[in-house]
Structure 1
Amino acid sequence: MIYIPSENRYETMPYRRCGISGLKLPAVSLGLWHNFGDDTPHQTKRDILQTAFDHGITHFDLANNYGPQPGAAETAFGEILKTDFAGYRDELIISSKAGYRMWDGPYGEWGSRKNLMASCDQSLKRMGIDYVDIFYSHRFDPDTPLEETMGALDSIVRQGKALYVGISSYNSECTREAARILKDLGTPCLIHQPSYNMLNRWVEHDGLTDTLDDLGIGSIAFTPLAQGMLTHKYLGGIPKGSRATQGKSLAPDMVSDRAIANLNKLNEIAQSRGQTLAQMAIAWVLRGGRITTALIGASKPSQVVDCVGAVQNLDFTAEELDLIDTYADEEQINLWALSSQGKTVD
């Protein structure tokens, strides 16, 4: 069946300028980290992407190692781009990254010029496109000079393989230095992609949000739903088949009895706002406009629709924010904390 996008797809989604650039991103973006590998039916992937675009999501975020198997998400996305979105490439923002382990040997991960240049070429080939809109250094490499990593990003733009570049999970200090190097090279840092949600506020404690404001760099927050914790899924405990039971980045001990009790309190606040817990969590990340866009994941189209509903109410009263702080008292859901400081995580 031929896919025809909704004619109303741009009517309700707000688009926010990314830092001091000319690029606008949807307030909600779709990430293909989970549910776009070989373990998900292809039609499900199509349904999710089509629903996202129909609701104004124009930004699709990938990385070279997304799967399983590594590379599978980009391959699947490339096939869907060709069959469903061939005439809409110029309406899309497509991003990819390199830095986590992708292939065997010493050049298959981290931030060397060798890895980033080869990774970008491989990603473009898998997706069947000439360029990505944004290409990221996926994590800081403590053993490679930052000048080399940023120089590779600059080269990728100058070769026409990316329009913009960004960094992910860099701390405030490293971000300032990376941005300085890129500015000197003439390829400004467009965007930073940190993990951020009401249970994980390292970007505030680290000063990263202030740094991004100072430098005029945009931001896209991944894990705004804390790997599914900030949804209805865990309100009654850990359900069978959930991410916490599959070893997919959410350990069962994070969903403690105390955490579940607090999640239910947060859900009551969301209900008083006329939102689902997921919608309130996304709205909280987007509050005040400091975060450009919230990066969601989805295993089915209905989850996309629910998340997009967050944009209908992005305002919070001081009382609501105080209540949220009472119950969202940090369960330490930051699996990338060590990586952002240049250390290896599993």
Structure 2
Amino acid sequence: METYVPSDTRYDKMVYRRCGKSGLKLPAVSLGLWHNFGGDTAHDTKRAILRQAFDLGITHFDLANNYGPPAGSAEFAFGSILKEDFHGLRDEMVISTKAGYHMWNGPYGEWGSRKYLLSSLDQSLDRMGLDYVDIFYSHRFDPDTPLEETMGALDTAVRSGRALYAGISSYNADRTREAVRILNDLGTPCIIHQPSYNMLNRWVERDGLKDTLKELGVGSIAFTPLAQGMLTGKYLGGIPDGSRATQGKSLNPNMLSDHAIKNLNKLNEVAEARGQTLAQMAIAWVLRGEGITTALIGASKPSQVVDCVGAISNLEFTKDELKLIDEYADEEKINLWAQSSEKAGEA
């Protein structure tokens, strides 16, 4: 593949939003490497996706220790591509990683202990060939570890120079308040929260988390804004061969009932009337009113990145459009993250 030269116009159209009360600005659309950056995806495809994203002004790249498959392979691939294509551009990028889910065997390979979090961060830096990440997250709340210990590890990560900022993911409103208070007392503020959020899964609204983040001055990055591909044109005619719903991964095909597909087509009609694809409208809906700092997308090919970034050209909704979306976004029947949302609400 030829030497990569980034587009001279990469910053012309992207919208950048301040992350909470911090000085950090994030693009309205960020790229996540949860899917399609493991060993099951061709290296050249990963390079093409990252190049396209950067050319469109996406400066924020989101990873975690367990992304793959296998676990760790997404960070390794990303580090390789940084060396191949983005040499000298590190200071134009925001790179995030997380720790919380199972990563290695034994009692120290997951959750929220100080030993696990800091060991994991060191491993992530080694895989990516980096001296530091911009944001280091506690990936999930650990009910068996004192929150003071988990947040203390984030504070150490920042004070030691291995991370510039601290964040949390999938904490409910009450736990978020507690985590923010502890970090503020330590002098390392929590600048960002990463919850799942889309028009089919609105637990952050029911839980009060969205309002809590605004009150506390904490930024937010919504993952699964496209509901694992449901809020794209992929499933409007049913479940196609080779789609995520057929691969036994994160999208349960039972979610794509006849009723669900009918509603998705109705939502697509709303999007078409707005001059957008369904994916663009879904991202715009998440970003509406600036309640969410940035939408975290995934992509299996560069054209999907182009489509998603197109959402920023129209982030405004009329009352009638929002009413129709509420009518057809039947979240009680199509909530991909129901179990995770319930756990987040009980944590």
Which bracket does the TM-score occupy, shorter chain normalised? over 0.9
Question: 1:56 aligns to what?
Answer: 57
Alpha-carbon displacement from aligned partner over 1:200-239 (angstroms, at most 9, x marks no partner)? 0000000001110110000000000000000000000011
Contact kept in structure 2, 1:172 and 1:207, CA below 8 Å: yes
Question: 1:44 aligns to what?
Answer: 45
**Structure 2: how far apart are the matches of 1:244 and 1:59?**
27
Q: Which amino acid aligns with 1:332?
A: N
Q: Which amino acid aligns with 1:208?
A: L
Question: 1:167 aligns to what?
Answer: 168
Question: 1:77 aligns to what?
Answer: 78
Contact kept in structure 2, 1:134 and 1:163, CA below 8 Å: yes
Contact kept in structure 2, 1:140 and 1:342, CA below 8 Å: no
Deviation (angstroms), 1:86: 1.2
**Matching of residue 333 in structure 1 with residue 326 in structure 2:** no
**Matching of residue 181 in structure 1 with residue 185 in structure 2:** no
Within-5 A mapping of 1:281-300 = 281-300=282-301
Contact kept in structure 1, 2:207 and 2:345, CA below 8 Å: no
SS at match of 1:280: helix
Q: Please, what TM-score do these two structures have when normalized by structure 1?
A: 0.98
Deviation (angstroms), 1:248: 1.2
Question: 1:120 aligns to what?
Answer: 121
SS at match of 2:131: coil
Within-5 A mapping of 1:1-346 = 1-330=2-331, 331-334=334-337, 336-341=340-345
Length, aligned pairs only: 343
Q: Closer, same or farther in 2 for the Cα pair 1:264/1:36, shift >3 Å?
A: same
Q: Which amino acid aligns with 2:106?
A: G
Contact kept in structure 2, 1:142 and 1:342, CA below 8 Å: no
SS at match of 1:86: coil
Alpha-carbon displacement from aligned partner over 1:312-334 (angstroms, at most 9, x marks no partner)? 00000000000000000201221
**Structure 2: how far apart are the matches of 1:338 and 1:126?**
33
**Structure 2: how far apart are the matches of 1:324 and 1:230?**
12
Deviation (angstroms), 1:9: 0.2
Q: Which amino acid aligns with 2:327?
A: T
Alpha-carbon displacement from aligned partner over 1:23-80 (angstroms, at most 9, x marks no partner)? 0000000000000000000000000000000000000000000000000000000000
**Structure 1: how far apart are the matches of 2:344 and 2:7?**
39
Deviation (angstroms), 1:336: 2.4
Contact kept in structure 1, 2:94 and 2:134, CA below 8 Å: yes
Structure 2: gaps spanning 5 or more residues = none
Deviation (angstroms), 1:134: 0.1
Give the root-mean-square deviation of aligned CA atoms. 0.8
Alpha-carbon displacement from aligned partner over 1:257-284 (angstroms, at most 9, x marks no partner)? 0000000000000000000000000000
Deviation (angstroms), 1:337: 1.8
Contact kept in structure 2, 1:16 and 1:292, CA below 8 Å: yes
Runs of 4+ in 1 over 4 A off after TM superposition: none
SS at match of 2:89: helix
**Structure 2: how far apart are the matches of 1:96 and 1:271?**
36
Contact kept in structure 1, 2:100 and 2:139, CA below 8 Å: yes
**Structure 2: how far apart are the matches of 1:176 and 1:143?**
18
Q: Which amino acid aligns with 2:258?
A: D
Q: Which amino acid aligns with 2:232?
A: T
Percent identity, aligned pairs only?
76
Contact kept in structure 2, 1:209 and 1:290, CA below 8 Å: yes
Contact kept in structure 1, 2:219 and 2:293, CA below 8 Å: yes
Deviation (angstroms), 1:340: 2.4
Contact kept in structure 2, 1:141 and 1:342, CA below 8 Å: no
